[in-house]
Amino acid sequence: MKKFAVVAAMATAFLGSTSAYAVDLEVTHWWTSAGEAAAIAEFAKLFEEKTGNTWVDSALAGSGTGANPVIISRIIGGDPMGATQMNTGRDAEELIQAGLMRDLTPIVEEMGGLDFYVDQSLLEACKYEGGLYCLPINIHSWDWLWLSTAAYEKIGQPVPTNWDEYVASWPALEEAGILPFGLATGWPISGVPGVLMSGIGGSDLVLAVNRDKSGDAVRGPEFRKVAEAMDSLRKVISPEMMVPSFGDVGNQILSGEAAGNIHGDWLAGDLQVAGGVPGENYECLPALGMGDQLTGGGDSFYFPVLPEGTDPAVIQAQTDLAKILISPEGQLNFNMVKGSMPIRTDIDLSNANPCMQKAIKMLGNGLLPSGDFALSSDTQQQMQDLNIEFLDDDSITVDDYIERYASIIESAD
Amino acid sequence: MADTAVRMEDGAGVSTRPGFLSRIFLHNLSAKFAALPMVITVLVVFVGCTIWTIYYSFTNSKLLPTGKFIGFDQYERLFATSRWNVSVWNLLAYGAMSLVFTLVIGFILAVLIDQKVRFESAFRTIMLYPFALSFIVTGLVWQWIMNPTLGLQGTMRKLGWDWFSFDWIANPKMVLFALLIAGLWHGTGFCMVLMLAGLRGVDEEVWKAARVDGIPTWRTYLSIVLPMMRGVLVTAVVIIGSGIVRLYDLVVALTNGGPGISSEVPAKYVFNYMFSGGNIGQGLAGATMMLLTVLIIMIPWAYLEFGGKGRR
Q: What is the pLDDT of residues A247-276, one digit of tens each?
A: 889 999 999 999 999 998 888 878 888 888
CA–CA dist A25, A13 (Å, integer): 16
Q: In chain B, what residues touch A376 (CB-CB under 8 Å)? A: 62, 278
Please list the ranges in chain A whose pLDDT falls under 50.
1-20
β-partners of residue A87 are: A299
Q: Is A383 exposed, middle or buried (0-12, 13-18, 19+ CB in 10 A)?
A: buried
Q: Which residues contact B160 (CB under 8 A, 6 or more apart)?
A: none
CA–CA dist A178, A256 (Å, integer): 7
Nearest to B239 by CA among B207, B195, B272, B287: B195
User: A54-59 and A24-29: which strand pairing?
Assistant: parallel
* pLDDT (0 to 100) of residue A17: 45
Q: Which CATH architecture has domain B73-311?
A: Orthogonal Bundle (1.10)
Q: Is A366 exposed, middle or buried (0-12, 13-18, 19+ CB in 10 A)?
A: middle
CA A152 to chain CA centroid, Å, is: 28
β-partners of residue A299 are: A87
CA–CA dist A330, A51 (Å, integer): 13
CB contact under 8 A, A186 and B256: yes
Within 236-265 of B, beta carbons closer than 8 Å to A belong to 256-262
CA–CA dist B299, A149 (Å, integer): 64
Closest chain A C-alpha to B273 CA, distance in angstroms: 7
CA–CA dist B52, B65 (Å, integer): 10
CA–CA dist B252, B140 (Å, integer): 9
Q: In chain B, what residues touch A380 (CB-CB under 8 Å)? A: 277
* pLDDT (0 to 100) of residue B17: 58
Q: Amino acid identity of A109?
A: E
Task: Compare CB distances from A72 to B63, B258, B279 and report the shortest one's residue.
Answer: B63
* pLDDT (0 to 100) of residue B308: 59
* pLDDT (0 to 100) of residue A64: 66
Give the 3-state secondary structure of residue A86. strand
Give the 3-state secondary structure of residue B8. helix
Ordered by where they begin, the domains of chain A are 2-140+297-343 (3.40.190.10), 144-296+373-411 (3.40.190.10)
β-partners of residue A57 are: A27
Task: Compare CB distances from B256 to A94, A95, A185 and report the shortest one's residue.
Answer: A185
Query: Which sequence spans correspond to the domains of chain B?
Result: 1-56, 73-311
User: A258-262 and A144-148: which strand pairing?
Assistant: antiparallel
For chain B, the straight-line distance linking the first and the last C-alpha, in angstroms and rounded, comes to 36
Tell me, yes or no, if B293 comes closer than 8 A to chain A by beta carbon: no
CA–CA dist A284, A22 (Å, integer): 44
Cis peptide before A188 (omega within 30 of 0): no
CA–CA dist B195, B193 (Å, integer): 5
Give the 3-state secondary structure of residue B172. coil
> In this structure, how many other beta carbons lie within 10 angstroms of the beta carbon of residue A78?
8
Contact B172, A393 (CB under 8 A): yes
Cα A308 to Cα A13, A132, A315: the distances in Å are 21, 21, 11
* Cα dihedral sign, A325-A43-A24-A29: positive
Q: Which residues contact B215 (CB under 8 A, 6 or more apart)?
A: B223, B224
pTM of the model: 0.82
CA–CA dist B160, A227 (Å, integer): 42
Task: Compare CB distances from B278 to A91, A185, A186 and report the shortest one's residue.
Answer: A91
Cα B264 to Cα A386, A387, B139: the distances in Å are 13, 15, 14
Task: Compare CB distances from A381 to B66, B260, B277 and report the shortest one's residue.
Answer: B277
CB contact under 8 A, A94 and B275: no
Closest chain A C-alpha to B229 CA, distance in angstroms: 44
CA–CA dist A306, A82 (Å, integer): 7
Tell me, yes or no, if B5 comes closer than 8 A to chain A by beta carbon: no
* pLDDT (0 to 100) of residue B270: 93
CB contact under 8 A, A381 and B279: yes
User: A134-136 and A127-128: which strand pairing?
Assistant: unpaired
CA–CA dist B99, A160 (Å, integer): 54
CA B266 to chain CA centroid, Å, is: 14
Task: Compare CB distances from A378 to B83, B258, B277 and report the shortest one's residue.
Answer: B277
β-partners of residue A294 are: A367
Contact A43, A166 (CB under 8 A): no
Nearest to A119 by CA among A355, A352, A342: A342
Contact B101, B184 (CB under 8 A): yes
CB contact under 8 A, A391 and B82: no
CA–CA dist B312, A350 (Å, integer): 86
CA–CA dist A132, B185 (Å, integer): 54
Q: Amino acid identity of B52?
A: W
Predicted complex ipTM: 0.78
Closest chain B C-alpha to A100 CA, distance in angstroms: 12
CB contact under 8 A, A65 and B262: no
Tell me, yes or no, if B275 comes closer than 8 A to chain A by beta carbon: yes
Residue of A nearest to B169 (CA): A240
Residue B147: which region, alpha, beta or left (left: phi > 0; alpha: psi -120 to 50)?
Answer: beta
User: A367-369 and A294-296: which strand pairing?
Assistant: parallel
> Across all residues in chain B, what is the average pLDDT?
86
Q: In chain B, what residues touch A412 (CB-CB under 8 Å)? A: none
Give the 3-state secondary structure of residue A113. coil
CB contact under 8 A, A389 and B148: no
Give the 3-state secondary structure of residue A343. coil
Give the 3-state secondary structure of residue B161. coil
Cα A62 to Cα A30, A42, B118: the distances in Å are 7, 21, 48
What are the pLDDT tens digits along chain B (312 aa)? 344 444 444 444 444 555 777 777 777 888 888 889 999 999 999 999 999 999 999 998 888 888 888 989 999 999 999 999 999 999 999 999 999 999 999 999 999 998 888 888 898 888 889 999 999 999 999 988 988 888 888 888 889 888 888 888 888 889 999 999 999 999 999 999 999 999 988 888 999 999 999 999 889 998 989 888 888 898 898 889 888 888 999 999 998 887 888 899 999 999 989 888 888 999 999 999 999 988 888 888 888 777 655 444
